[in-house]
Structure 1
Amino acid sequence: MPLKLKGKIYKSVIRPVLLYGSECWAMKKTDEKRLHVAEMRMLRWMCGVTRMDKVRNEYIRGSLKVAPVTEKLKGKRLSWYGHVKRRDETHVTKKAMSIHVDGWRGRGRPKKIWMDCVRRDMKERGVSDSETGDRREWKKKTYCADPK
């Protein structure tokens, strides 16, 4: 089977399974790394290459025409954020995003929250919160396309 066809199958069948529900996860660096490792294992297996062959990840991605799964994850997360921001004020997801819980947190480092991930992704892509209103522009700035 040609590598290009294998890449298309990966993009349409395997990657959606990997990223299912990922727009709502508060991903830590270790989680992102695990996702990346799982993806590269599959891509190497599809190409018939082992790590002992010392083939670079970029070369494998280029031959299958596949973008990194972490970049796709960030694009999906920002897409979901824009979708929720454009919702009606009475919608449950919009309410949940702006909820404030009274009380205090324990000692130590605070838990990573989803909004921290969104803010980091927006900073990396160079977009702001005010740009979510225009759906077409938001998609242009946040979407991660696969290489051609």
Structure 2
Amino acid sequence: MSSKYLGVDVTSHRDIYQETIYQVRKAAATTGALRDIVWRNKHIGIETKTRIYKTCITPILTYAIETRVDTKKTKQTLRTTEMKTLGCLIGKTRRDHVRNEDIRQQCNIQDIVRQHVTGKEKYRLAKIIRDGKPEGKRSSGRPQIRWQDSWSSESQIRLNITQ
């Protein structure tokens, strides 16, 4: 079973790779639409093309990236798509044998997988969770109340009586 919610396919079996492929296809379609208009235009500088890439393509690729667990395969798929777009942006193909680091340096862009969480402001929830360390100590034994029970009215009455 599958349905779309906010542009992301929600499935009963949660196929992360298929979600990534869906986003990559959308980004590739956008890149293709901009190819003749922007990427191959000799009158537009690399800085301007890079800004267009950052505002049009990057959000498509990184949409909902914080809510899924990335695997080696999904990260590689995102990086491959990024490099295809950046190569097109500066007018290079794989036949030119230009290293990815050189292309990124020329465009002044970080790796898309690392950039999304590390480049954001310091108080962002995803960054706090990634870098945070739990403080304090858990109490021993079983919890007094389950989280699921906290939503029922009977448990609220029980909780008030025992306190």
Q: What TM bracket, shorter-length normalisation?
A: 0.5 to 0.7
Q: Which has the larger radius of gyration?
A: 2
| Match in the other structure for 1:11 | 54
Say which of 81, 88, 111 aligns to 2:126: 81
| Residue 37 of structure 1, CA deviation | 0.3
Structure 2: which 5+ runs fail to align? 1-43, 136-163
Say which of 123, 126, 132 aligns to 1:128: 132
| Match in the other structure for 2:85 | 42
| In 1: Cα distance, 2:56 partner to 2:126 partner | 24
| In 2: Cα distance, 1:22 partner to 1:65 partner | 22
| In 2: Cα distance, 1:74 partner to 1:19 partner | 10
Q: Which amino acid aligns with 2:101?
A: E
**What's the TM-score once normalised by structure 1's chain length?**
0.53
Contact 2:117 2:126 in 1 (8 A): no
Contact 1:23 1:80 in 2 (8 A): no
Point out which structure has higher relative CO (alpha carbons under 8 A, 6+ apart).
Answer: 1
Count matched residues. 89
| Residue 130 of structure 1, CA deviation | 4.9
3-state secondary structure, aligned to 2:57: helix
3-state secondary structure, aligned to 1:129: coil
Contact 1:4 1:63 in 2 (8 A): no
Give me the CA root mean square deviation: 2.3
| In 1: Cα distance, 2:79 partner to 2:102 partner | 15
Which is richer in strand? 2
